[in-house]
Amino acid sequence: MAFEGLSQKLQSIFKSLTGRGKLSESDVKLAMREVRMALLEADVNFMVAKDFIAKVTERAIGSEILDSLTPGQQVIKIVNEELVALMGATHSKIAVSPNPPTVIMLCGLQGAGKTTMSAKLGGWLKKQGKNPLLVACDIYRPAAIDQLKVVGAKLNLTVFDKGTQNPVKTAAEAVDYAKLYLYDTVILDTAGRLHIDEELMEELHKIKEKVKPTEILLTVDAMTGQDAVNVAKSFDEKLGIDGVILTKLDGDTRGGAAVSVRAVTGKPIKLCGTGEKLTDIEAFYPDRMASRILGMGDVLSLIEKAQEQFSDQNTEELEKKFRTQQFDLQDFLEQFAQMKKLGSLGDIMKMLPGIDSSKINPEDLDDKRISRMEAIILSMTPRERRNPDVLNASRRKRIAAGSGTTVQEINQLIKQFESTKQMMKQFGKMKGKSRFKMPF
């Protein structure tokens, strides 16, 4: 996951600070040198890292920090605030045209994931009530048009294409088509190159002049690190972009692009790709990203993901079952399926505050464990799922044989099920006494 190395190093540095009752100026400067090295190793732009450390150091050696009762926590607070400011301070939304359709032009180098991101963006906007039209303007890369059709079909999105016709003409016709058939958003998947060249920029300029896009968003591969920042700077200088979409932010990337791109280009990161699935796209929130980097979790994003997967009706039915003690193993099985939609266990754990990922046993975050628990429940009869109390020794042996597991694993599942019931029973009592509502 992005930032994992940077996050662990920063947490280690700050742990040494918070363990002291008082900090000297030399303590702060030593810690900031280590922070700077961690940022540079994460491929953060050198000047960005230098300016960041200077600002944090200036604030951290003030009397309000050195004389504070919790100096270590105060330093972390300053680092968090400066990180947020570095990445843009506030969430930058995609602009909407007052006169539909809104035209979003995606550009970038070949291999950045632009075509897939076009579909992801379309699906993301569709969930928000928009009616997007995908437009195939990449006539150079083999099978680019077919790829857009395939990913578009998976999300039930209409794809407008005119084969190898001039992309400028295709873009203009697509906008007219959108107006005629009431599509409120047009997403242009433009051609990329292996490197920035005049031919690429000239074509993009012509499309820009012809359709006057509401937003020009540059798609950059976060795994390219500092190169992503250089690409963003070049595109902005030659074309004029409105924002950046970072793809592959879930990969083995050092995260430097996310930290640097706003400071270098002055243009905000608006969206990020967080996985291979077509639903793995998120709005970019600088404050939430800073919290993730510093190991403070990101509960808001986790709750938003949960709310997307759990309807109000399902939540109410689940709460009712908890309150009336009707929650059974069939319901438990359905919750596994819902939880898998939120992402891997490792990603979920990293969104929870106060959890040191370096101390988590990898076996505890093995997604195969969920699959094994699902196999156990699926090997039970309907009666056994409704009433786990009937699961005697012989039944458990039969279920273990049928699911390819062990009796010990079945015992652990039943224990976990009972613990969940007990915990949710307490939540139900809290809800009855206040306005408390379970997030999922």
Ordered DSSP codes for 341-388: TT--HHHHHHTSTT--GGGS-GGGG-THHHHHHHHHHHTS-HHHHH-G
pLDDT band (50, 70, 90) for residue 245:
very high
Higher pLDDT, 392 or 427: 392
- Say what the pLDDT of residue 78 is: 85
Flag whether 93 is in a domain.
no
48 pLDDT higher than 60:
yes
Residue ending a domain, among 271, 301, 331, is 301
Flag whether 361 is in a domain.
yes
Q: Are residues 107 and 76 in the same domain?
A: no
Q: Are residues 383 and 353 in the same domain?
A: yes
Whether 63 and 28 have beta carbons less than 8 Å apart is answered as no
Q: What is the CATH number of the domain that holds 403?
A: 1.10.260.30
Q: Which two tokens stand for residue 364?
A: 């505890």
pLDDT digits (tens, 9 = 90+) for 137-159: 999 888 899 999 999 999 999 99
Whether 101 and 178 have beta carbons less than 8 Å apart is answered as yes
Higher pLDDT, 433 or 44: 44
- 186 beta partners: 103, 133
- Say what the pLDDT of residue 392 is: 93
163 pLDDT higher than 80:
yes
Average pLDDT in the 115-121 region? Answer: 95
Which are the contacts of 289, defined by CB distance < 8 A and separation ≥ 6?
A: 87, 258, 298
Residue ending a domain, among 301, 320, 353, is 301
Q: Are residues 109 and 246 in the same domain?
A: yes
How far apart CA 106 and CA 117 sit, in angstroms, is 9
Flag whether 20 is in a domain.
yes
Q: Are residues 258 and 191 in the same domain?
A: yes
- Say what the pLDDT of residue 325 is: 64
267 pLDDT higher than 80:
yes
- Say what the pLDDT of residue 255 is: 67
Which are the contacts of 121, defined by CB distance < 8 A and separation ≥ 6?
A: 104, 106, 132, 187, 245, 271, 281
Higher pLDDT, 102 or 110: 102
Average pLDDT in the 385-404 region? Answer: 91
430 pLDDT higher than 60:
no
Highest mean pLDDT of the ranges 104-113, 248-257, 360-369: 104-113
Which are the contacts of 258, defined by CB distance < 8 A and separation ≥ 6?
A: 2, 3, 87, 222, 246, 249, 269, 272, 284, 289
Flag whether 94 is in a domain.
no
- Say what the pLDDT of residue 3 is: 66
Q: Are residues 263 and 319 in the same domain?
A: no
- Say what the pLDDT of residue 346 is: 57
Residue ending a domain, among 301, 322, 346, is 301
- Say what the pLDDT of residue 365 is: 52
Flag whether 108 is in a domain.
yes
Q: Are residues 403 and 322 in the same domain?
A: yes
pLDDT digits (tens, 9 = 90+) for 346-385: 565 555 554 555 555 545 555 677 788 889 999 999 999 9
Percentage of the chain exceeding pLDDT 90: 34
Average pLDDT in the 80-99 region? Answer: 87
Flag whether 184 is in a domain.
yes
Domain count for the chain, please give it: 3
The CA distances from residue 3 to 39, 68, 89, 255, 296, in Å, are 10, 30, 19, 5, 13
Average pLDDT in the 209-229 region? Answer: 87
pLDDT band (50, 70, 90) for residue 433:
very low
Q: Are residues 70 and 123 in the same domain?
A: no
- Say what the pLDDT of residue 436 is: 36
Beta strand pairing call for 132-137 and 185-190? parallel
Q: Is 243 helix (H, G, I), strand (E, B) or coil?
A: strand
How far apart CA 217 and CA 313 sit, in angstroms, is 37
Name the least confident of 48-57, 177-186, 277-286, 290-299. 290-299
How far apart CA 328 and CA 386 sit, in angstroms, is 5
Q: What is the CATH number of the domain that holds 169?
A: 3.40.50.300
Q: Are residues 289 and 314 in the same domain?
A: no
Domain ranges, residue 15: 4-87
Q: Are residues 246 and 159 in the same domain?
A: yes
How far apart CA 183 and CA 179 sit, in angstroms, is 6
- Provide the mean pLDDT of the chain: 81
Higher pLDDT, 77 or 403: 403
- Say what the pLDDT of residue 166 is: 94
- Say what the pLDDT of residue 312 is: 53
Name the least confident of 103-117, 267-281, 303-317, 401-415. 303-317
Q: Are residues 113 and 141 in the same domain?
A: yes
Percentage of the chain exceeding pLDDT 70: 78
Average pLDDT in the 198-223 region? Answer: 91
Q: Are residues 268 and 327 in the same domain?
A: no
Q: Are residues 287 and 417 in the same domain?
A: no
315 pLDDT higher than 90:
no
Higher pLDDT, 408 or 346: 408
